[in-house]
Amino acid sequence: MKFFKNITKAIIILIFLCIFGFSAIYLYAKMLPKLSISGNGSYTLYDNQENIFFQGNGTSKWVSINDISNYVKVATVTIEDKNFYNHHGFDFLRIMKAMYTNLTSRSYKEGASTITQQFAKNLYLDFDKTWERKLNELWYTIQIETHYSKDDILEGYLNCINYGHAMYGIENASEFYFNKKANELSLAEAAMLVGIPKSPSNYSPLINPDIAKKRQLYILKIMYDEGVITKDEYNKAKVEKLEYHGKKDGLNLDTLLYYQDAVMDELKSLGNVIETHLQNGGIRIYTTLDVKAQTVLEESIKSNITDNNEIQASGIMINPTNGSVIALAGGRDFNKSQYNRALSSKRQVGSIMKPFLYYNALENGFTASTSFLSQETTFTLNANNIYTPKNYNNVYANKAISMASAIAFSDNIYAIKTHLFLGSENLIDTAKRVGIKTKLDPIASLPLGTVELNHLEITNAYATLASEGVKHEPYFIEKVTDNAGNVLYQHSDSSEVVLNKSITFILNDLLKGTYDYNMVDYTYPTNISISSLLKHDYAIKSGSTDTDNWIIGFNKNIVTSIWIGYDDNKKMTTSDFKYSKKIWANVMEAYLADKDVNWYEIPSNVVGVIVDPITGNLATNESKSKKILYYIKGTEPSYTQEVFDEYEEKNKLEN
């Protein structure tokens, strides 16, 4: 009996201490300066022309609580926090119930955040998920509760939550979904909007109308059961037919949030100074976004993929002169899938790895005319290891072909012979120099792209080729200021010359052969299908595996890369390979339509020679094809000096 008395006494003391402790905390918070809730946590994003394309937390259209439909207010409180007007920021009974439910189910099924807690969290960027961050949010909750009325808090909450499609705040959402002000919403419309924030990508009526309708009916039923609407209101709202507007002022791009995603990722890396200013009044972020580039990238993806809802695409556009990322699509539609494939995924890159091999070859004495025999080959790597790569569709020249041909046809046999001739470590060294940070293993198949790389990583490596050997780190943010215009961060260029300009010129010119009809011989250049779409000169390389399809191409102005594939690594069908090249061609030509575009200037130590591009020998009157190829002076073919030819060397040895 004494034991139970002691337990009861301890519980009473604990409760008293908790009450005293919370009272002291609330009293201390009351004594602190009033925390601003109408501007904190706001961030404004500008494109590269300093035009606003996003304002975070809805501060661009903050509306008074009196200018919001009463149906929205009642529905929000009923579904999100029915004890909102009775607690002081924390609903302890709801917390205990949620803890019990989650413990018994051994999963996180039920949350217990109040409207004030959610508002406190939404006021600030979630830079990390540490316990320190969570404690800060709890402290903000207490400060907000001690300084503001419930209506002030509800007003703030409704002005900053995400209603999907980048619509932050109830006024923005009302105008986007229904083309009306927040105070004009009907009960049915209000219930539909209030249902969205729980999962904007799932409950948007523009994406999943059936699921959104079920959510709306659920909210209406709860409101009726709680007695906040009448039976007549409930019945009328259930059957009211809603007409959706689905348009917003400014940019209507379904991929823009992928770019914004990348900006916020970079912002997180800039340190506590940015976060501090964000908390104390908001910031302005000046990005590298080119609206025209983002628009043509999205439109090209949408217009070319119309017959397959499952396949995914990502694309990146980089200015090679400084590394600025001017457009990025991490998927086909952010509203349907928030996974940013351009930033987060790693995929097999296939033959787009080969240009770095051929740069290394040119650096080590190879020329555009260097020839190897292209035929089905089994390589003995060591006593217990053989390797038999295949050409696409098992097409082989069965004769000696030049490096120019190997690049145009993406010949795998030539690539492996070059790789093994030079040594596996050489390709790894070149890849590191151009900015590939993923660890690469010295394996025979490396030039065929069996390695998995990140989309931004491989695109920036190509940007090093496009910039004639100057490596830049890719970036999205030019500068960050506070709302008074004081600069908090300014991007600084950390460029580095990592490749020889003359060799890079030769390689870039060879990559033009992938769509050149002069290269047609026993097979076709890999990108000949888009030749008629191209009005400018480009260096292009495509690559494919069973699960991934790539194309990356560039000139002095822009680097664009496109990836196509399935998120679950499903094998691609023959028809799936049609998308990437047309998307890429459409993007490049649309973006460059009104720009001055020039090819690279020929370096002074480089000479052009008319050759037979298939054999690499000097052209004669009998040559089937003729093309100017480029060489470092002194290495060009002549009638008296033979180029290295594996087939000829083999015959000499046998004779």
> Active-site residues: which are they?
80, 351
78 contacts 226 by C-beta, under 8 angstroms: yes
Report how far residue 166's alpha carbon sits from residue 54's, in angstroms, rounded to the nearest whole number. 8
Report how far residue 8's alpha carbon sits from residue 393's, in angstroms, rounded to the nearest whole number. 81
Tell me which amino acid residue 124 is: Y
282 contacts 76 by C-beta, under 8 angstroms: no
Q: Find where tokens 């240009």 sit.
A: 355
Eight-state DSSP code of residue 568: T
Q: Which of 612, 438, 452, 435 is nearest to 518 (CA)?
A: 612
* Chain-centroid distance, C-alpha 463: 17
Eight-state DSSP code of residue 33: P
For residue 379, what are its two tokens?
């390589």
40 contacts 124 by C-beta, under 8 angstroms: yes
Tell me which amino acid residue 435 is: G
Eight-state DSSP code of residue 194: H
* Chain-centroid distance, C-alpha 478: 18
* Helix spans in 81-186 (H): 92-105, 115-122, 131-147, 150-158, 170-178
Eight-state DSSP code of residue 471: E
296 contacts 329 by C-beta, under 8 angstroms: no
Q: Which residues contact 323 (CB under 8 A, 6 or more apart)?
A: 460, 463, 472, 473, 474, 475, 493, 495
Q: Which of 539, 569, 566, 533 is nearest to 551 (CA)?
A: 539
Q: What is the dihedral of CA 246, 248, 250, 254, to 10 degrees?
A: -40
Helix (H, G, I), strand (E, B) or coil at 301: helix
Q: Which of 245, 265, 233, 86 is nearest to 176 (CA)?
A: 245
For residue 654, what are its two tokens?
């046998």
| The residue count for the chain | 655
